[in-house]
A and B are shown apart, each in its own frame.
Chain A
Amino acid sequence: MNTPDAHWDVFLKGLWKENPVFVAVLGMCPTLAVTNTAINSLAMGAATFFVLFFSSLLVSLLRKVIAKQVRITTYIVIIATFVSLVDMLLAALVPDIHKELGAFIALIVVNCLILGRQEAFAAKNRVGPALLDAAGMGLGFSMALLMIGVVRELLGSGSLFNIPVFGSSFEPWIVMILPPGGFFTLGFLLLIFNAVAQRRAVASSVTSQS
């Protein structure tokens, strides 16, 4: 666990092998609800990253103090505190985006990804690995959100980060920025993800045989 390679693995697994959105399918509500533009996706990703990172830090520091029977409650209170903080921070810094995300910022509390990481990793590991794990998972989550957001904004509004890309002759697929678009985009991304993972598995089994 102490070699640099192992640390690197702890960080990297969140990005691909155990990606919270594409592999574990955790934290679906924000993933689908606020990804109708790339900017909203980015804000949601950053907010989740912040909460996950600092909750993991605190939980890992306190892991010997927290009694086993009340651990879940303690985690939730810690997470809720950081979410309240992020909520107020966003309201002060970027009021427009905060208004668009609305109650979904507060709903980061019940994102199963965050509670899951506390229970599965931060509570059992030292601060260093816990932070690496949180950073990897947080980045993996943000990356997935951004991928969905970019697809939906490109097809749904013909723009990227509010900059038009396709010119005026492009007829936007309105449905992509509406709720069904969220389901479709994630569904098809999962499809691609599955197909790539399957191809890799086949390729590796072939090379190991030869």
Chain B
Amino acid sequence: MAQELLWIFISALLINNFTLAYFLGICPFLGVSNKLDTALRLGLANIFVMIITAVAAWALNTFVLIYAPYLRLISFIIVIASTVQFVEMAIKKWSPELFKALGIFLPLITTNCAILGLALFATNKGYGLIEGIVYALGAGGGVTLALILMAGIREETRVLDIPDVVKGTALSLIVAGILSMAFMGFAGMFSAA
């Protein structure tokens, strides 16, 4: 059991990295990742929302959607969005510091494809509650890792002399491609064991 959970975690973190292998959550990856500090906080907010999502998706799948599977997509979106909103209010009240650190990102993330993707993949793989939470931790960690790596590289590229046509999104995409290639190396990590 413990080994299985570890495998789920590592696989979501490195091998099937949400950003670099599944292309989920690319918009913030390309748009926001300019500063290391912002990238880290965005990543943490992502982990946080993903855990809520995993629990919400599990609850919906177990208690509601067995009766009406065709409502899956609509109910996922509405329930995730409103749960995050409630949790946001709760944090604002109980822990202003935490809210200050993550606050602005929460509503942004809610409509992120990585979040809905997590709910859908966890459902397709038939994960239970604990497996779902571990999967969310791994996936969130993977997104954070990708954001931080990208932010670090971008801070460096700012001082380079780059031709005008390459600047901006084109450069980010090519850098992301190289990063993604590096992450493909992790695929061989566990096949030998």
Chain A positions within 8 Å of B, measured between CB atoms, are 25, 28-29, 31-33, 73, 76-77, 80-81, 83-84, 87-88, 102-103, 106-107, 109-112, 115, 175, 178-184, 186-188, 190-191, 194-195, 198
- B23, A182: Cβ atoms under 8 Å? yes
- A102, B124: Cβ atoms under 8 Å? yes
- A77, B78: Cβ atoms under 8 Å? yes
- Interface mask (B1-25 → A, CB under 8 Å = 1, otherwise 0): 0000000000000000000111111
- B177, A106: Cβ atoms under 8 Å? no
B interface secondary structure, majority: helix
Instruction: Collect the chain B residues with CB atoms within 8 Å of residue A180's CB.
Output: 177-178, 180-181, 184
Closest to A186 in B: B173
Q: With A106-B73, A106-B116 as given contacts, are A187 and B121 in contact (CB-CB < 8 Å)? A: no
Closest to A194 in B: B165
Instruction: Collect the chain A residues with CB atoms within 8 Å of residue B113's CB.
Output: 29, 107, 110-111
- B30, A28: Cβ atoms under 8 Å? yes
CA–CA, A84 and B72, complex, Å: 9
Q: With A32-B26, A190-B170 as given contacts, are A110 and B165 in contact (CB-CB < 8 Å)? A: no
CA–CA, A175 and B180, complex, Å: 10
B120 interface residue per 8 A CB criterion: yes
Instruction: Collect the chain A residues with CB atoms within 8 Å of residue B117's CB.
Output: 29, 103, 107
Contact of B184 among A31, A115, A178 (CB under 8 A): A178
Closest to A88 in B: B70
The 8 closest A-B pairs by CB, nearest first: A183-B177, A187-B173, A28-B26, A187-B174, A190-B170, A32-B23, A103-B120, A180-B180
- B124, A190: Cβ atoms under 8 Å? no
- B173, A107: Cβ atoms under 8 Å? no
- B74, A81: Cβ atoms under 8 Å? yes
B169 interface residue per 8 A CB criterion: yes
Contact of A84 among B70, B81, B124 (CB under 8 A): B70
B27 interface residue per 8 A CB criterion: yes
B112 interface residue per 8 A CB criterion: yes
Q: How far is the CB of A170 from chain B (nearest CB, A)?
A: 22
Q: How far is the CB of B139 from chain A (nearest CB, A)?
A: 13
CA–CA, A120 and B77, complex, Å: 21
Contact of B173 among A106, A111, A115, A190 (CB under 8 A): A190
Scoring B24, B81, B164, B166 by chain A CB atoms within 10 A of each residue's CB, the highest score goes to: B24
Within 8 A of A (CB), among B49-79: 70, 72-74, 77-78
- B21, A179: Cβ atoms under 8 Å? yes
CA–CA, A76 and B79, complex, Å: 13
Closest to A87 in B: B73
Instruction: Collect the chain B residues with CB atoms within 8 Å of residue A195's CB.
Output: 165
B102 interface residue per 8 A CB criterion: no
CA–CA, A193 and B171, complex, Å: 13
B111 interface residue per 8 A CB criterion: yes
Scoring B81, B172, B177, B181 by chain A CB atoms within 10 A of each residue's CB, the highest score goes to: B177
